[in-house]
Amino acid sequence: MPKRRLPPSACQRFLVRECGRPLRFGLAVAAVVAGVLLLVPDTYRSEAVLLPLENRASGGTSALASAAAAMGVPVPLGDAPDTNFMDILASRRIRLRLLHDRFAFQLRPWPFGRPVAMDLTLAEFLKARSEDDAVLEVGQHVRASRDMKTKVINITAETRSPELSRQLVQKTLQALESYLMAKGRTRGSQKAQFTSQRLGEARAASLEAETALRTFLEVNRNYQSSPDPSVRLKGTRLEAELRLRQTLVTNLALAMEQALLQEKDDMPILNVLDPPNLPINKANPPRTRWTFLAFLLGALGSWLWWSHGRIRAWLYPEPSGGLR
């Protein structure tokens, strides 16, 4: 004997009547959003982490800072060498260098296509209308951020190709290091050039003082025992002038060597904690999250739309009957 089907309960009828239509509408909206998101290409993010550079202070300043810190008194030591790294990374000079560098990578021309090998400059890849637009677009793909507490700098690049993202971070680090080395070499070379010029002038002056003393001694060989005071005074003055010139040459030669050593010491070295990685998992778009959110918003909007009349009737009930 076939089983008799029980009639739906009041709760089931309520769920079918109140929730069936919103759920179907939410599923339809989620399906449409998921279909659109399938056409959005995946992007991959590569990241590098830079540690803060040490502030090179003199020995006396460091000792003073240590003693003051022991007593709880902070002593400012000046800005760190990497305080302007964010401005350098966002500069037009670095972005133009990235635009003119060549990159070899693989890229899917459409979301479900096969990867195609490409070898071109970043400017050719972006296909911007002008150089200014290309510079702005580079800033959208390559970003740098700094943690104000730890002073750690993160450099990230996000593109449709994993290889291109990693190469962009690598090229950015190379451009930053080249700029810092050129800046340090320019400052040190200018100091060394000025010291070398002064050393040449001091040597010429020392040679003139030596020639003047030799000419004087050829005529006045034993001037110390000369009865003429002016002769003894002139000989003493020429000897003192020669010693002064020789001391100046020695000091400038030491300063020249110190400037050459400082030229190498002033060049900051990037402390790369994490080198740029080759991303495997996509960074964007978050299809699951957006699809679920579309389902919730569609179902909620549908329920509010179909229940608007009953909610309004419940909030503002019409008076029953007329005046008697």
pLDDT in tens, the chain (324 residues): 455 554 555 555 555 556 777 788 888 888 998 888 888 888 999 999 998 876 554 444 444 445 544 555 454 444 556 678 889 999 999 999 999 999 999 998 777 778 899 999 999 999 888 899 999 999 999 999 998 888 899 999 999 999 999 999 999 999 998 888 777 665 666 777 788 888 888 899 889 988 888 888 888 877 777 788 888 888 888 888 889 988 988 888 888 887 777 666 656 677 888 899 999 888 888 888 989 998 898 888 887 777 765 555 555 565 555 444
Q: Is residue 159 part of a domain?
A: yes
Asked if residue 266 and residue 154 are part of one domain, the reply reads yes
At residue 107, the 3 state secondary structure works out as strand
- Report whether the peptide linkage leading into residue 285 is cis, meaning its omega lies within 30 degrees of zero: yes
Asked if residue 25 and residue 173 are part of one domain, the reply reads no
Model pLDDT, residue 324:
43
The Cα–Cα gap between 91 and 178 comes to 14
Asked if residue 207 and residue 167 are part of one domain, the reply reads yes
Cα Rg, the chain, nearest whole Å:
40
Model pLDDT, residue 62:
46
The Cα–Cα gap between 125 and 98 comes to 12
Model pLDDT, residue 134:
92
Asked if residue 48 and residue 34 are part of one domain, the reply reads no
Model pLDDT, residue 253:
87
Q: Is residue 157 part of a domain?
A: yes
The residue with tokens 């693989």 is 106
Q: Is residue 64 part of a domain?
A: no
Q: Is residue 60 part of a domain?
A: no
Q: Which two tokens stand for residue 251?
A: 């000091």
Model pLDDT, residue 221:
78
The Cα–Cα gap between 146 and 142 comes to 14
Asked if residue 33 and residue 113 are part of one domain, the reply reads no
Model pLDDT, residue 13:
55
Q: Is residue 65 part of a domain?
A: no
Which residues form the domain of 148? Answer: 44-53+81-274
Asked if residue 91 and residue 17 are part of one domain, the reply reads no
Give the angle subtended at the CA of 57 by the CAs of 56 and 58, to the nearest 5°. Answer: 130
Model pLDDT, residue 150:
86
Report which secondary-structure segment, H or E, holds 214: helix 162-219
Asked if residue 295 and residue 251 are part of one domain, the reply reads no
Q: Is residue 19 part of a domain?
A: yes
Q: Where among 232, 251, 274 does a domain terminate?
A: 274
Maximum C-alpha span of the chain: 155
Q: Which of 42, 277, 266 is nearest to 154 (CA)?
A: 277
Asked if 235 and 216 count as a contact pair (C-beta separation under 8 A), the reply is: yes
In this structure, the strands spanning 102-107 and 153-159 are unpaired
For 169, phi then psi, to 5°, come to: -65, -40
Asked if residue 295 and residue 244 are part of one domain, the reply reads no
Asked if 105 and 163 count as a contact pair (C-beta separation under 8 A), the reply is: yes
For 15, residues 6+ apart whose C-beta sits below 8 A from its C-beta are none
For 195, phi then psi, to 5°, come to: -65, -40
Strand partners for 271: 51
Count of structural domains, the chain: 2
Asked if residue 255 and residue 107 are part of one domain, the reply reads yes
Model pLDDT, residue 75:
45
Q: What is the 8-class DSSP label of residue 322?
A: -
Q: Is residue 21 part of a domain?
A: yes
Asked if residue 292 and residue 268 are part of one domain, the reply reads no
Q: Is residue 61 part of a domain?
A: no
Neighbours of 308 (CB within 10 A): 10
Model pLDDT, residue 128:
85
Neighbours of 155 (CB within 10 A): 24
Model pLDDT, residue 15:
55
For 292, residues 6+ apart whose C-beta sits below 8 A from its C-beta are 30
Q: Which of 224, 240, 222, 244 is nearest to 232 (CA)?
A: 224
Asked if residue 118 and residue 25 are part of one domain, the reply reads no
Asked if residue 160 and residue 126 are part of one domain, the reply reads yes
Taking each helix axis as running N to C, give the angle between helix 92-100 and helix 162-219, from 0 to 180 degrees, rounded to the nearest 10: 120
pTM assigned to the model? 0.63
